Amino acid sequence: MHMSTNSETKSAAVGTDPTADRPLRADAQRNRERIIEAASEAFRELGLDASVAEIARRADVGSGTLFRNYPSKEDLIYAVIEARMQEWTHVAERALTEPDAAKAFEEFMLTAADAQYRDRGLFEAFKEGLLDEPELFDCKERAVCLSEEVLKRAQQAGAVRADVSADDLGNLTAAAAAAAERSGGGNSEGSPYARYMRILLDGLKP
Q: 125-131: long-range contacts at Cβ-Cβ below 8 A with a sequence spacing of 24 or more?
A: 125/48, 125/77, 125/81, 126/170, 126/171, 126/174, 128/48, 130/77, 130/78, 130/81, 131/81, 131/170
Q: Which one of its own copies, DNA, none is in contact with 64 (Cβ closer than 5 to 8 A by kind)? A: DNA
Is 205 within 8 Å of 121 (Cβ atoms)?
no
Q: Select the residue interacting with DNA from 47, 71, 158, 186 (CB under 7 A).
A: 71
Residue with smaller CB distance to DNA, 68 or 205: 68
Which residue stretch of 49-57, 79-87, 144-152, 170-178 sits at the interface with DNA (rule: CB under 7 A)? 49-57
Pick from 61, 144, 174, 197 the residue near DNA by CB under 7 A. 61
Least distance (Å) from its own copies to the CB of residue 143? 16
Q: Which of 168, 77, 171 is nearest to 116 (CA)?
A: 171
Residue 69 or residue 147: which is nearer to DNA going by CB? 69
Cα dihedral across residues 169, 171, 176, 177: positive or negative: positive
Least CB distance from residue 85 to its own copies, whole Å? 16
Q: List residues near DNA by CB under 7 A.
A: 22-25, 27-28, 31, 49-54, 60-65, 67-69, 71-74
